[in-house]
């Protein structure tokens, strides 16, 4: 279609779908109950888990970040002459997915395209959102009959992600007193080994979650060295482990690796949280607080690279993804843009993709 106003057809609403977070102290425990639903964790334990929220006034930064992202997305859509309504819904806090779907129906929507604030492929970063979308449609009830909800593909490999990270990484390393001292720790959220082992298409080899991160980290390291004429090293590490000690999770932990690097003279730790698109709690607490404290304790200089957030290259890439998904929905031939070699996931998830290892649940945006 040549008309910019129809560029997102057949979609009549865009939904920004996110994790959510508390915005006041009395919301912390209810929020954590929703996050841990079905695990039988007592409130006393949730109070302890929520201490980093209480230390910040009971407020997660994620909702304010999403409000800013919505404004930037709206501005980019308007710049391109696209007036499709842009809504926001969360899995675990207001506005919930159900609220967003009711609002979409108020707009007369028949087909919604969802843009998740999670870029990678595994159960917790993709399929769990799809399950919650299915549950929201079911909760809305008969009013949602006939409503189609789609999503854009997992976009960790998209140029908008890679180029935004590269720009921030180059700026951070070049600002060091000695850029050659940098050792880049590319950080992402740890998940259980079993979740990583089963990430990706049901008939695939698994480990797509870790593979996507490794490919992104490798390309960023290569491009950093090329642009600055360096030979710095980069490696993937993990943060935010929350499972029982008996359950294997992806390692090494960022704090353990910082302690190990303290034995290497002249090293500056450059922490690039590539598993996150914005500075939400896992970044501001687990990295800006805990990892920074570890580095200070062991005497290692520490720098944290800004996340894409609302970087213009990143936001433009997100809108490009929406347009790509709309073209697919119209039946056009689309060659997905990618910044990385290897697997590019489709927007419609394959049967058995990133399965729920606890219980089988209905999920939207897939072929199973």
Question: Any idea what the CATH number is for the domain that residue 106 is in?
Answer: 3.40.50.1400
Examine residue 336 and state whether it is found in any structural domain, yes or no: no
What is the distance, to the nearest Å, from the Cα of residue 202 to the centroid of all Cα atoms in its chain? 21
In this structure, is the dihedral angle defined by the CA atoms of residues 115, 121, 124 and 126, taken in order, positive or negative?
positive
Residue 351 φ/ψ region, left for φ over 0, alpha for ψ in the -120 to 50 degree band, beta for the rest:
beta
**CA dist., res. 297 & res. 326, Å (int):** 50
Do both 26 and 127 map to the same domain?
A: yes
Question: In the prediction, which pLDDT does 1 show?
Answer: 43
The string of pLDDT tens digits covering residues 302-329 is 999 999 999 999 999 999 999 999 999 9
Instruction: Indicate the burial class of 245 (C-beta count within 10 angstroms; 0-12, 13-18, 19 or more).
Output: exposed
**CA dist., res. 327 & res. 335, Å (int):** 10
Question: In the prediction, which pLDDT does 368 show?
Answer: 84
Unique residue bearing structure tokens 């996110």: 18
**Domain boundary residue, one of 257, 289, 304:** 304
Do both 136 and 204 map to the same domain?
A: no
Q: Give the domain range for residue 255.
A: 159-304
Examine residue 348 and state whether it is found in any structural domain, yes or no: no
Do both 93 and 225 map to the same domain?
A: no
Examine residue 175 and state whether it is found in any structural domain, yes or no: yes
Examine residue 356 and state whether it is found in any structural domain, yes or no: no
Which residues are bridge partners to 269 per DSSP?
Answer: 183, 302
**Domain boundary residue, one of 304, 319, 352:** 304
Do both 128 and 163 map to the same domain?
A: no
Examine residue 104 and state whether it is found in any structural domain, yes or no: yes
Examine residue 262 and state whether it is found in any structural domain, yes or no: yes
Examine residue 219 and state whether it is found in any structural domain, yes or no: yes
Do both 214 and 298 map to the same domain?
A: yes
Selection from 261, 263, 256, 285 nearest residue 273 by Cα: 285
Do both 255 and 314 map to the same domain?
A: no
Please list the ranges in the chain whose pLDDT falls under 50. Answer: 1-2
**CA dist., res. 57 & res. 316, Å (int):** 33
Do both 52 and 163 map to the same domain?
A: no
Do both 10 and 147 map to the same domain?
A: yes
Alpha helices in the chain (DSSP H): 25-35, 43-49, 51-54, 62-79, 97-106, 128-140, 159-174, 193-197, 208-228, 254-261, 281-284, 292-298, 312-329
**Domain boundary residue, one of 288, 304, 320:** 304
- By the 8 A CB rule, do 203 and 240 touch? no
Do both 71 and 127 map to the same domain?
A: yes
Both tokens of residue 367?
Answer: 């072929």
Give the number of domains in the chain: 2
- Please compute Rg for the chain using Cα positions: 20
Residue 277 φ/ψ region, left for φ over 0, alpha for ψ in the -120 to 50 degree band, beta for the rest:
alpha
Do both 37 and 142 map to the same domain?
A: yes
Do both 111 and 184 map to the same domain?
A: no
Do both 285 and 179 map to the same domain?
A: yes
Examine residue 340 and state whether it is found in any structural domain, yes or no: no
């Amino acid at each position: 279609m040549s008309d910019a106003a129809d560029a997102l057809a057949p979609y009549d609403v865009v939904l920004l779908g996110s994790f959510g977070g508390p915005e006041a102290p009395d919301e912390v425990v209810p929020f954590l109950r929703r996050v841990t639903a079905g695990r039988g964790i007592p409130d006393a334990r949730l109070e302890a888990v929520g201490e980093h929220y209480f230390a910040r006034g009971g407020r997660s930064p994620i909702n304010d970040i999403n409000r800013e992202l919505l404004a930037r997305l709206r501005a980019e859509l308007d710049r391109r002459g696209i007036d499709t309504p842009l809504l926001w819904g969360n899995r675990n806090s207001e506005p919930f997915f159900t609220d967003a779907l009711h609002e979409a129906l108020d707009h007369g929507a028949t087909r919604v395209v969802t843009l998740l604030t999670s870029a990678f492929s595994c159960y917790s970063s993709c399929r769990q959102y799809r399950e919650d979308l299915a549950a929201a449609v079911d909760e809305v009830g008969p009013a949602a009959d006939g409503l189609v909800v789609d999503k854009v593909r997992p976009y960790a490999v998209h140029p908008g992600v890679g180029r935004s990270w590269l720009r921030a990484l180059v700026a951070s390393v070049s600002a060091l007193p000695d850029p050659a001292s940098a050792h880049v720790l590319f950080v992402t959220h740890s998940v259980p080994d079993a979740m990583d082992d089963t990430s990706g298409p049901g008939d695939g080899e698994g480990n797509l979650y870790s593979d996507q991160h490794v490919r992104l980290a490798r390309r960023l390291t290569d491009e950093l060295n090329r642009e600055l004429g360096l030979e710095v090293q980069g490696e993937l590490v993990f943060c935010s482990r929350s499972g029982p000690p008996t359950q294997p999770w992806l390692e090494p932990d960022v704090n353990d690796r910082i302690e190990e690097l303290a034995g290497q003279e002249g090293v500056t730790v450059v922490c690039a949280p590539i598993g996150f698109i914005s500075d939400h709690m896992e970044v501001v607490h687990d990295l800006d607080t805990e990892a920074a404290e570890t580095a200070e304790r062991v005497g290692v200089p520490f720098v944290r690279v800004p996340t894409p957030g609302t970087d213009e290259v990143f936001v433009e890439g997100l809108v490009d993804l929406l347009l790509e998904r709309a073209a697919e929905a119209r039946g056009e031939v689309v060659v997905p843009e990618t910044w990385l070699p290897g697997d590019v996931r489709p927007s419609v998830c394959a049967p058995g993709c990133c399965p729920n290892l606890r219980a089988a649940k209905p999920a939207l945006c897939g072929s199973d």
